[in-house]
Amino acid sequence: MAERMAARLMDATTPLTERYAERIAAAFAKYPDKRSAVMPILFLAQETYGYLTAEALREVAALCEMDPTQVQSIAGFYTMYRERPKGRYWLQVCTDLPCALNGADAFYRDLQEYLGIHEEGGTSADGLFTLEHVMCLAACDKAPMLQCNFRYLESLDLAKMKAFIEEKRAELEREVANGAVAGEGA
């Protein structure tokens, strides 16, 4: 059944169904109700479009047989969905109590300073890094920590993050030199 559905989705050919037909069909196969697949499919839409555009929300709504407004409310309620474009690297620093007892607030301020990002959720001038706070990520024994595009970086300090940031900046420079990107970053 999942294969037949995947084939049907491929025929519809939107960027989302073209890229993820099999994974969408697999998501629907898990539940007796199409609506239950809305969260996994929103993640796939986010990967396809970079963030949840109005077009992406309409497409997910059609797939899950929901109203686009309902899908938008889901996207707004859960913090892992991006409703606006972000930098190529989305840095979310935990500053909840256990992390803060181990220097996470100062770590966050140092990162802000180093990246030149002064508002919550702001993006660095080169478009590479978006920086914001996040609530407890269940890694309290490895503070300070953050997640970068949903991958955990743990037991951090500013020196480690500087190395990480410079490596990503160098990567971007190489891409620009090779003509892979226009120089604006993400």
Partner 1 sequence: MRGRGGAGFPTGVKWSFIPPSEPLTYVVVNADESETGTFKDREIMEGNPHQLLEGALICARAIRASAVYIYLRGEFWDIAAALDERIAQLYDEDLAGEDILGSGWGCDVFTHLGAGAYICGEESALLESLEGKLGMPRVRPPFPAQKGGGLYYEPTVVNNVETLANVPWIMEHGAAAYRAIGTEQSTGTKVFCVSGNVQRPGNYELALGTPLRELLYDCAGGPPEGRQFKAVLPSGGSGPIVPTTEEILDTPLSYEGCVAAGTILGSASVIAMDDSVDMTWVASKVTKFFRHESCGKCTPCREGTYWLDRVLDRILAGEGRAQDIRLIDSVAKNMQGATLCALGDFAANPIIHTIAHFPADFQAHFENAVEVASAAEAAGD
| Dist. CA 141–CA 78, nearest whole Å | 25
The backbone region for 144, taken as left when phi is positive above 0, alpha when psi lies in -120 to 50, beta otherwise, is beta
Question: Segment near partner 1 (CB under 8 A), from 1-9, 48-56, 74-82, 123-131?
Answer: 74-82
Give the whole-angstrom CA distance, residue 42 versus residue 45: 5
Stretch that binds partner 1, among 11-19, 111-119, 145-153, 170-178 (CB under 8 A): 145-153
Residue 64 or 165: which CB sits closer to partner 1? 64
Of the two residues 43 and 49, which places its CB atom closer to partner 1 in the complex?
43
Question: Does 33 engage in binding with partner 1 (CB under 8 A)?
Answer: yes
Q: Does 137 bind partner 1 (CB under 8 A)?
A: yes
Subset of 4-23 contacting partner 1 (CB under 8 A): none
The reply on whether position 52 binds partner 1 by CB under 8 A is no
- Is residue 146 part of the contact set for partner 1 (CB under 8 A)? no
Q: Which long-range contacts (CB under 8 A, 24 or more apart) does 160-166 make?
A: 161/111, 161/114, 162/114, 165/114, 165/115, 165/129
Euclidean distance between CA atoms 56 and 169, whole angstroms: 30
Q: Residue numbers of the site for partner 1 (CB under 8 A)?
A: 30, 32-33, 35-40, 42-43, 64, 66, 73-74, 77-81, 96-98, 100-102, 135-143, 147, 150-152
